[in-house]
C-alpha cells in the first residue's frame, strides 16, 4: 500500500505519535514511518531553510 510521505510528515508535525499513526493506519508499520523520515531527511539534507521566529 502506498502512503504519501508528505501526509505522514503532516500527521507527525501536528503532534500525532507513532502509535497513533499505526492505530489509525493499520497497513503501516513502524519501519514505514522510519523510512519516510529517512527519505525526507535525504531530500533536504543540503538545503537551508530559514526558521520562523515565534512571538
- How does pLDDT run across 2-50, given as a tens digit for each residue? 899 999 999 999 999 999 999 999 999 999 999 999 999 988 887 787 8
- Residue 39's contacts (CB-CB under 8 Å, 6 or more residues apart) are 5
16 within domain boundaries: yes
Q: Check residue 25 and give its pLDDT.
A: 96
**Rounded-to-integer distance, Cα 29 and Cα 27, Å:** 7
**Residue 14 is part of which domain span?**
5-43
pTM of the model as a whole: 0.76
Q: How many domains does the chain have?
A: 1
Please give the torsion angle defined by the CA atoms of residues 16, 8, 41 and 15, in that order, rounded to the nearest 10 degrees: -10
State residue 49's pLDDT score.
Answer: 76
Task: Look at residue 39 and tell me if it is in a domain.
Answer: yes
Nearest partner of 4 among 29, 33, 31, 44, judged by Cα? 33
The answer to whether residue 51 sits within a structural domain is no
Amino acid at each position: 500500500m502506498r502512503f504519501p510521505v508528505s501526509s505522514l510528515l503532516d500527521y507527525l508535525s501536528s503532534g500525532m505519535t507513532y502509535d497513533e499513526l499505526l492505530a489509525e493506519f493499520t497497513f503501516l508499520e513502524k519501519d514505514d514511518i522510519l523510512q519516510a523520515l529517512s527519505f525526507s531527511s535525504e531530500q533536504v539534507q543540503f538545503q537551508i531553510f530559514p526558521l520562523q521566529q515565534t512571538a
